[in-house]
Amino acid sequence: MSTYTLVLGGTGKTGRRIVARLQAQGVEVRVGSRSLPFDWYDATTWPGALEDVETAYISYFPDLVVEGAPERVGAFARLAASKGVRRLVLLSGRGEAEAQRAEQEVIAAGTEWTVVRCSWFAQNFSEAFLLDGVLAGEIALPAGDVPEPFVDAEDIADVATAALTQDGHHGEIYELTGPRALRFEEAAAEIAAAIGRELRFVSVPGEAFHAGMLSAGVPEDEAVLVSWLFREVLDGRNVEPQDGVRRALGRAPRDFGEYARVTAASGAWA
């Protein structure tokens, strides 16, 4: 009997939050991550991860825009369907053509499906590559006047958990954003207000940003990906806030200011 919910990327920003929510509901969870026997680049690890699985959350590492990602996601989704998995929830990206190719692969696999299509995570300021800048008092990015409706990972986890555990979400593509778009300079100002100290934003050329990541020890493939995201996706295509959180959960999305205050209170920026 299929009893497990598989959470791929279960130690990441969204995955660990989903795991915590599922466990709180008494759901039997299987966590697939780089430290456990699941590897996107080794298909022999996939069947074992899918044994006795009823529903699965698909988060592709490092990102759906990397070469071969849609094909791997499609192969995994088809294998899941053949093994009796009933429902798949895919974490996708707004404004990314390769991510939308991966969405079509999941849709065609033959299971129930939900797509959770997200903008930039607010948690990138506290749990990812922007944290060091916040701690140092200066965020230097190749970003100018184009705003972004940053989405809180807590909202992503709430929507994904609902889609995994409740009926009524099959066939839905939820575009998840915050309720308002902010320039990176404005986001830095809100964080500064929350932590009570200065946080400068500096706009830098893309080449300098890329070189800075490498000098800071960021792996080359990660630096290439992040640079691409700033260059290609942060061009205005994702400016407008969307209603995915409200459609999925019946409530407004969390505001960036709330994220900043909660994160400051947690000590993450101390």
3-state secondary structure 76-125: HHHHHHHCCCCEEEEEEECCCHHHHHHHHHHHCCCCEEEEEEECCECCHH
Per-residue pLDDT tens digits for 146-205: 999 999 999 999 999 999 999 999 999 999 999 999 999 999 999 999 999 999 999 999
Residue 34: predicted pLDDT: 58
190: nearest Cα among 247, 152, 229: 152
Q: 10 Å Cβ neighbour count for 217?
A: 7
Distance CA 10, CA 20 (A): 10
Q: Measured between alpha carbons, how far is residue 195 from residues 15, 140, 190 in Å?
A: 27, 18, 9
Per-residue pLDDT tens digits for 61-70: 989 999 999 9
Decide: 20 and 31 in contact? Cβ < 8 Å: no
Output phi, psi for 91, to 5 deg.
Answer: -85, 120
**Does the pLDDT value for residue 32 go beyond 90?**
no
| Residue 52 Ramachandran class (φ > 0 left, ψ -120 to 50 alpha, else beta) | left
Give the 3-state secondary structure of residue 182. strand
Buried b (16+ CB within 10 A) or exposed e, 84-100: ebebbbbbbbbbbebbb
Average of per-residue pLDDT across 85-102: 96
Instruction: Lowest mean pLDDT of 30-39, 47-56, 211-220, 236-245, name the range.
Output: 30-39
Residue 17: predicted pLDDT: 98
180: nearest Cα among 239, 110, 129, 99: 239
Residue 219: predicted pLDDT: 87
* CATH T-level fold of 4-120+151-177+238-254: Rossmann fold (3.40.50)
Which tokens belong to 260? 């900043």
DSSP state of 230: I
Distance CA 112, CA 178 (A): 27
Beta bridge partners of 29: 5
Residue 231: predicted pLDDT: 85
Distance CA 97, CA 70 (A): 10
Decide: 13 and 19 in contact? Cβ < 8 Å: no
Which tokens belong to 109? 């696999």
Residue 33: predicted pLDDT: 67
Decide: 57 and 49 in contact? Cβ < 8 Å: no
pLDDT, the chain, mean: 94
Decide: 70 and 41 in contact? Cβ < 8 Å: no
- Give the residue extent of every domain in the chain: 4-120+151-177+238-254
Distance CA 73, CA 76 (A): 5
